[in-house]
Structure 1
Amino acid sequence: MRGFITLLLLIIGLCLQSAGMAADKSVIAVIVANDNPSKSISLGELKLIYWRKKTYWANGQRIHPINLPSDNPLRLQFSSSILGSAPSAQNDYWNGLYFHGVSPPHVLYSDEAAIRYVQETAGSIAYADACKLDNRVRPVLWLLPNGEISTNASSISCN
């Protein structure tokens, strides 16, 4: 009986811990400039952009993807959900492409820096906390805390 109670308490503790970890995640908005002709973006297209396999928008404009630092919680969430791996696991990929003239996405150090860069740089794309956005940029996709992708802003709640 004592073993059963210990096991039950362990399971409850793990459930509470995983619920707390999910609560720490933010809604991430993938953003482009207001004048970017792309009204939406697919998950597949976003992956290609961030792996630098798609480098031009449909109108011929060069794509400038932006990342946050590798230890930033939004970057960790974005990388694991969208790219399928942690930033540290991507180093070998980028090291291999370096000698072919392909560099990883440029890194900016805050949501605000990413928002300003996208606002001021034609063809750029980035991600930021959805609750920090304003009318300077346009979101084209949302990554919800549960890992789901949404194209509908009404599913976003900022408290």
Structure 2
Amino acid sequence: MRLLLALLLATSSLCLTMASYAADKTVIAVIVANDNPIKSIAVGELKLIYWRKKTYWSHGQRIHPINLPPDNPVRLHFSTSILGSLPNTQSDYWNGLYFHGVSPPHVLYSDEAAIRYVQETAGSIAYVDACKLDTRVKAVLWILPNGETSTDAAAIKCN
């Protein structure tokens, strides 16, 4: 009974945490370099890339996924929408893979750093606040505030 109660409390806590991010979420753009031949990406493929289960693009280039810091609201939205968990709950997964030589995606500390990295590093992929997007990179997926995804440019309202 105690285990069931603990599980219910943990689940409701996760739901409340995820809901608290919903109010201030923005549209996220998943980005790759302009010379990357992919035009869009499926959510399933994106999950595999960020869980480091897919490491090469279909054209043979190594994939270099980039994360934002664990407490960044864009990362929180990406993690809950795409990976189905919060960054702080993913450590057991990465600890288990560490001894197999698999590391989590590198962390960069700003949207600008992620954009520059993707622009300059062949095979890289990242996600940024769509309002920070410019012509240096291209978006291959949009994650909307409600967690749904689209391969079409979303109607973005930036201040």
- TM-score (norm. length: structure 1): 0.85
Question: What is the aligned-residue RMSD (CA, Å)?
Answer: 1.6
Measure how far apart 1:19 and its partner are: 9.0
Alpha-carbon deviation of 1:51? 0.2
Amino acid at match of 1:133: L
The corresponding residue for 2:94 is 94
Instruction: Tell me which residue corresponds to 1:79.
Output: 79
Task: Flag structure 1 segments of 5+ consecutive residues without an equivalent.
Answer: 1-17
* SS of 1:54 mapped into structure 2: coil
The sequence identity of aligned pairs, in percent, is 81
Task: Indicate whether 1:138 and 2:128 are aligned.
Answer: no
* CA distance in 2: counterparts of 1:148 and 1:23, whole angstroms: 15
Larger Rg: 1 or 2? 1
Q: Which runs of 4+ in 1 moved over 6 A?
A: none
How far the C-alpha of 1:21 sits from its partner, in A, is: 5.1
Gaps of at least 5 residues in structure 2 are 1-17
Distance 1:19 1:66 in 2: 25
Query: Between Structure 1 and Structure 2, how many residues are aligned?
Result: 142
Q: Which residue of 1 aligns with 2:38?
A: 38
Offset, 1:154: 4.3
- Matched letter for residue 110 of structure 1: S
Q: Please give the TM-score of this superposition, normalised by the length of structure 2.
A: 0.85
The residue identity in structure 2 corresponding to 1:93 is Y
Give matches, 1:1-159, under 5 Å: 22-159=22-159
